[in-house]
Amino acid sequence: MSGKYFPLSPEELSRLAERYGTPFYLYDERGIRENIRRFQAAFSGFPGFKEFFAVKACPNPFILKILADEGCGADCSSLPELILAEKSGITGENVMFSSNETPEKEYIYANLKGNILNLDDITHIPFVEKALGALPEVISFRYNPGPLKSSGVNAIIGKPEEAKYGLTRGQMFEAYRICRDKGVRRFGLHTMVASNELDTACFAETASLVFALAADLRRQLGVTVEWIDLGGGVGIPYKPGQQAVDYAELAARVQAQVDAVLVPAGLDAVKICWECGRPVTGPYGWLVTRAIHEKHIYREYIGVDASMADLMRPGMYGAYHHVTVNGKPDPTDWDSGSVKAGLEAGRDYRVYDVVGSLCENCDKFAVQRPLPPVETGDLLIIHDAGAHGRAMGFNYNGKLRCGELLLRTGGEVMEIRRQETVDDYFSTLDFRALSLFNAKSSE
């Protein structure tokens, strides 16, 4: 039996909580580095392979700097993300700007910095041309295969034919033709049609669809794409019993489609890219929170000092995150996904809803979850929170977002983002103007 990985002993975590207070995010530098190296090694046989880390998953410059050191680029979708990547040492064409409904100033900034513009719609061609004065030398388009894509559909991306993203297959040909005729000389091709998918067959299907489009673009328009970005969407095993994606198997499935589709089309030199976020940092980040209340009504509740404002995935998507209690045995047998197996091994448990303090009933990290008996003061570890966790935080109910800590490879811990303060919360408000407003209102 193997439990969920956590890099600190119960004593080390207790000392950390005393020093920094709870809640906080903790990331494991060693785990992130070793993981991205495994991912890149699986694709090392592909010419010019590049992973553009999805900044939206974990937008912290210390994390980005680690990934930049490991040779990653950055997938950005806003001006602040572009700046964050730049400050982390990821520049030029190592940045893929994949944004939809994008303001003019953001295209201008990305172009000035030499970033790759990955356009989300055919109408963005004249929009960008007007904003920049001319189309850039290199351009990419996001492909939405619509009903041609049958696997990987989920609540985040949605059915391709219902999703707001990308161009139809017919529009792709028109877009590349227009740009070719306007003097664009270098092209890329992009898609993103899955999220948190564990079945490698889904990505094989995606590769087949996109590779076929690349072959047809060359045959019909004489446009040879320089790279194909397969997007992200590779999942992680949040739940007991789920298996992690085998990177070698994933690479082999993509290579099979390269051999079947790209090589016969004379496109075997095309670079293959990914823009994964979740599988890179997700398993190596944890939200640590303290039990501060218990409640006994129609259910048993454990109230913690974190809330949905710190991790919204469970409340927003009904997403599962495994929860363990510091220093107490996990009642679940992780390998079998079975509470019964845990009980047979002598582990005691209670069934709780683990909740935060927002005025929303969906503010729950776990619903009817078997846990060891929890006492006020216990530290709870919410696992697999290293992607789309702190990044999706918000300030509803005036909640202050928690800080982030990094466990370095040498064992030391550094604070890479402090907790928000009340002053931070009020920093965009002008109370001097409010006092004038009150004075005028009373005249």
Task: Please name every residue paired with 300 in a beta bridge, in sequence order, or none if there are none.
Answer: 296
Confidence of residue 242 (pLDDT cuts 50, 70, 90): very high
Query: 367 and 308 in contact (C-beta within 8 Å)?
Result: no
Q: What is the mean pLDDT of the chain?
A: 94
Could you give the percent of the chain with pLDDT greater than 90?
87
Say how far apart CA 326 and CA 310 lie, in whole Å: 19
Q: 95, exposed or middle or buried, with CB in 10 Å at 0-12, 13-18, 19+?
A: buried
pLDDT recorded at residue 247: 98
Query: 417 and 26 in contact (C-beta within 8 Å)?
Result: no
**What is the average per-residue pLDDT within 301-320?**
96
pLDDT recorded at residue 344: 79
Query: 239 and 189 in contact (C-beta within 8 Å)?
Result: no
Say how far apart CA 141 and CA 191 lie, in whole Å: 8
**What is the average per-residue pLDDT within 432-441?**
74
Confidence of residue 437 (pLDDT cuts 50, 70, 90): confident
Each residue's pLDDT tens digit, 30-59: 999 999 999 999 999 999 999 999 999 999
pLDDT for 155 beyond 60: no
pLDDT recorded at residue 1: 40
Of 76, 179, 202, 359, the active-site residue reads: 359
Question: Which pTM does this prediction carry?
Answer: 0.94
Say how far apart CA 329 and CA 305 lie, in whole Å: 22
Token couple for 82 = 């572009």
Confidence of residue 117 (pLDDT cuts 50, 70, 90): very high
DSSP string computed for 286-341: EEEEEEEEEEESSSEEEEES--TTT--HHHHH-----EEETTS--SSBTTTTBHHH
Pairing between β-strand 285-296 and β-strand 271-274 as defined by DSSP bridges: unpaired
pLDDT recorded at residue 439: 60
Say how far apart CA 381 and CA 285 lie, in whole Å: 10
Nearest-CA neighbor of 95 among 34, 32, 138, 38?
138
Which 3 state secondary structure label does DSSP give 83? helix
The residue ranking higher by pLDDT, 332 or 172, is 172
The residue ranking higher by pLDDT, 337 or 375, is 375
Query: 59 and 391 in contact (C-beta within 8 Å)?
Result: yes
Residue 418 carries which DSSP code? P
pLDDT recorded at residue 147: 80
Place of tokens 């680029």: 73
**What is the average per-residue pLDDT within 328-339?**
84
Which 3 state secondary structure label does DSSP give 118? strand
Q: Is 359 a catalytic residue?
A: yes
